[in-house]
Amino acid sequence: MSPVNVLVMIHGMTPDPQPKSPFDNSNDGKYWGYNTFFDELCKKQNQLTGLFPNRFIGVEWGHELPEEEGKPSNSLQEDHQLTRAQNFINERIAYDILAKDADPNNITMSLFSKSGIDFPTLTPLVRWLVVGLRESIATRGLGDVLYYGSAQGECIVRRSVYKQVLERLEPYLDESDVRIHLIGQSLGVTLTHDFLYGLFNPNEDYIPGFYVQGDEVNVARFKKWRQKAQTQELKLGSLTSTASQLPLFSMRNQVLVNRLANRQLFDARDIGILDSNQIQWQLFYDLDDLLGFGTRRLYSCGNAIREYQVDTGDNPGDAHTSYWKNFTVIEKTAELLLKNSVLS
């Protein structure tokens, strides 16, 4: 009997102050569009259309979408308030706004000020680049990292993300051979990793954090899928990661820090990678992406993990958000999905 293949896609946060839904096909190609990306995968490997007849499970989280603009903050989904919070911070601390603030307690440096001028030793272009990166990448690109790194933020994001995945997985609960394939970008990489870790960690004494974070219905669903993972009725088909921030999150608790301090690698079996001779996890990073890191060498089962350096753009912001348009990412992701969907 052929396995049932299910594909899950999870985005990260965008530095855009007015993000669009990842399901919106009219996003001008600027940020990850799930439908467009899946269509491009199918163009590379047309068999994927038959192997994934329901296309994919797409997750939306963290973004204040256009239809929510103007609504009271307390009416928004909790994780959707993240966009509004980041925008407010940016409005209060962006340098071009600080420089125009006439408050006597706001003392900035300029050509005609008493405090003198901070002339860039290198070039104005470098200064412009640094300020731009700080105010787009840092304030809008790291906010979700800090949020998810907190106990409350992790709980809220997981409730939102896991709920969407578990609801869509429900029709497959009675299937005896389900292969889950996941694609994550930026913080979505960490979310896909954590989801798999909760399902596949083989330690009998391990209690997934979602057991205390989720609502009753979805915790029950998660427990059923964890049981299926332990009996190998659920298997990891493939994992694709772009702009991984896992090296940052590998220091989020003392247990992980202790492991790294002892120069121990993370066990890839904990996320469902069981065959060290078959590629199951592919990662992509761009050297110009300030928020995406090489990750493969932190894990055991190196023969099952392949990592590509790619060129998604020279501007760090574009580099971070443009993996889904990159030829190599599309080609290699399509190949992995096809290969791991049909292998016994």
Average pLDDT over residues 140-158: 90
Percent of the residues in the chain that have a pLDDT greater than 70, as a whole number: 89
Give the C-alpha separation, 17 to 141, whole Å: 11
* 262-301: pLDDT as tens digits: 999 999 999 999 877 899 999 999 999 988 999 999 999 8
Q: Give the mean model confidence (pLDDT) for residues 125-140.
A: 67
- Contacts of residue 150, Cβ cutoff 8 Å, sequence gap at least 6: none
Q: What is the mean pLDDT of residues 149-174?
A: 97
pLDDT of residue 315: 81
Region at 308 (left for phi over 0; alpha for psi -120 to 50; beta for the rest):
beta
- Is the per-residue pLDDT at 121 higher than 80? no
The pLDDT assigned to 257 comes to 95
pTM across the whole model: 0.92
Which pLDDT tens digit goes with each residue over 45-59? 999 999 999 999 999
Let me know: does 222 contact 210? Beta carbons within 8 Å. yes
Mean pLDDT for the stretch of residues 149-166: 97
pLDDT tens, 78-108?
Answer: 999 988 998 898 888 887 888 888 888 887 7
CA distance linking residue 167 with residue 59, whole number of Å: 11
CB 58 within 8 A of CB 70: no
Nearest to 236 by CA among 189, 271, 277: 271
φ and ψ at 308, to 5 degrees?
Answer: -120, 135
125 against 151, higher pLDDT = 151
Residues 6+ apart with CB under 8 A from 208: 197, 198, 199, 201, 222, 226
Pairing of strands 4-10, 178-185: parallel
Per-residue confidence (pLDDT) for residue 127, from 0 to 100: 58
Report the mean per-residue pLDDT for the chain. 89
309 contacts 285 by C-beta, under 8 angstroms: yes
Note the pLDDT tens digit of each residue in 167-183: 999 999 999 999 999 99
- Which residue type is seen at 326? N
pLDDT per residue over 210-225, tens digit each? 999 999 999 999 999 9
| Cα 201 → chain centroid | 20
91 and 71 in contact (C-beta within 8 Å)?
no
pLDDT for the residue 215 = 97
Q: Quick one: pLDDT at residue 113?
A: 58
Q: What is the pLDDT of residue 342?
A: 85
Indicate the pLDDT class of residue 24, thresholds 50, 70 and 90: confident
Domain locations in the chain as residue ranges: 4-67+156-342, 79-141
119 has a pLDDT exceeding 60? no
Furthest-apart CA atoms within the chain: distance in Å: 79
- Give pLDDT tens digits for 179-212: 999 999 999 999 999 999 999 999 989 999 999 9
Hey, what CATH class is 4-67+156-342 in?
alpha beta
Beta strands in the chain (DSSP E): 4-10, 57-59, 178-185, 234-242, 281-285, 305-309
pLDDT of 317: 78
From the list 217, 193, 190, 222, the residue with the least C-alpha distance to 207 is 222
Q: What is the pLDDT of residue 251?
A: 92
